Structure 1
Amino acid sequence: MASESKPPFPPFTLETAKQKVKAAQDAWNTKQPDKVKLAYTPDSIWRNRDTFLTGRDEIAAFLREKWSKENGYRLRKELFAFTENKIAVQFWYEWYDDEGQWWRTYGLEDWTFADNGLMRKRQMSGNDVRIAKEERWFRDGVDVNAVEIGEKHW
């Protein structure tokens, strides 16, 4: 649909780039693939680690599969850099597998936006690190934005 849009729109300022990052974080934390996919252009292209996707239907299918395996998923995204229509983010998320092993995923993403504010390209690189349940940052009841993340955590 040509009338679709998702503010804020490029060109981004520091404030609007931060708003875009937190909006993405909040949407992903819903774990609702059919809601999340609407932030992307209908022909959006993705690279997620070694997986390449095109279009909203592939994005939604990928997210359904992802969140069916990543139990207890909680995500934090922070602005890393931006230009007029591009944003780079660093992210951390925690989840546990079917055996109950907790993981923290660290990574970077770069995003390119269409003029209507929908993301037309997303590239993600990430690494999964095994953690003990007691090492979790994003425990139940904790605001992911309030967790202090610094070099001491690496």
Structure 2
Amino acid sequence: MSQSSEARPPFPPFTRATAIQKVRMAEDGWNSRDPQRVALAYTVDSSWRNRHEFPQGREQIVQFLTRKWERELECRLIKELWAFEGNRIAVRFAYESHDAEGNWFRSYGNENWEFADNGLMHRRYASINDLPIKEAERKYHWPLGRRPDDHPGLSELGL
């Protein structure tokens, strides 16, 4: 396995434990809402599909995430391992956010990830659906940032 200076363990092939670790690392990064930090988890030539957008490479990923978090305010995300094999991981996720008018949404989706040998994500394909919710229906109430370890995951929340 060739490891560059950008290596990001754990490395493929994944075990159940290392796949779960990789999923939590991705969740933590996205909950930082720091586009520069998040982009470092992807190869420089990473290929994405996210809804109707197809970012290619880190620069476009940063631009995409910057736009996303300017629209999706107070975003809190939970990811959960669905399946894994070799250098691929499938996750399901849900996040809550609101728009500038104060309308809340819970966005549900699935992602398929493929990793390079150095542990950076090379491909990310996301399918996402949005559900308008009332603020009183929110399930994610931790302070912005990393989800606390004792906060329930998707399955425990019935999502």
TM-score class, shorter-chain normalisation, is over 0.9
Distance in structure 2 (CA, Å) of the matches to 1:60 and 1:144: 27
1:96 to 95, 98, 111: 98
What TM-score does the superposition give when structure 1 sets the normalisation length?
0.93
Given residue 73 of structure 2, which amino acid in structure 1 is its aligned partner? N
Distance in structure 2 (CA, Å) of the matches to 1:71 and 1:144: 22
Given residue 68 of structure 1, which amino acid in structure 2 is its aligned partner? E
2:115 corresponding residue in structure 1: 113
Distance in structure 2 (CA, Å) of the matches to 1:121 and 1:55: 10
Paired-residue identity, %: 50
Q: CA RMSD in A?
A: 2.0
Q: CA contact under 8 A between 2:78 and 2:154: conserved in structure 1?
A: no
Distance in structure 2 (CA, Å) of the matches to 1:144 and 1:126: 25
TM-aligned CA deviation for residue 152 of structure 1: 8.3
Distance in structure 2 (CA, Å) of the matches to 1:30 and 1:4: 20
1:146 to 134, 144, 151: 151
Q: How does 1:5-154 map to 2 (within 5 A)?
A: 5-141=7-143, 143=148, 146-147=151-152, 149-150=154-155, 153=158
**Structure 2 runs not aligned, ≥5 long:** none
**Structure 1 runs not aligned, ≥5 long:** none
TM-aligned CA deviation for residue 71 of structure 1: 0.6
Q: CA contact under 8 A between 1:94 and 1:103: conserved in structure 2?
A: yes
Distance in structure 1 (CA, Å) of the matches to 2:149 and 2:138: 11
Q: 1:63 to 1:144 in 2, by over 3 A?
A: farther
Given residue 32 of structure 2, which amino acid in structure 1 is its aligned partner? T
Q: 1:131 to 1:107 in 2, by over 3 A?
A: same
Which ranges of 4 or more aligned residues in structure 1 deviate by more than 3 Å? 140-145, 148-154
Q: 1:97 to 1:136 in 2, by over 3 A?
A: same
3-state SS of 1:10 partner:
coil
Given residue 82 of structure 2, which amino acid in structure 1 is its aligned partner? F
Distance in structure 1 (CA, Å) of the matches to 2:37 and 2:125: 20
Q: 1:36 to 1:149 in 2, by over 3 A?
A: closer
TM-aligned CA deviation for residue 124 of structure 1: 0.2
Deviation by residue 1:63-119 (Cα, 9 ceiling, x = unmatched): 000000111100000000000100000000000001101000000000000000000
3-state SS of 2:97 partner:
strand
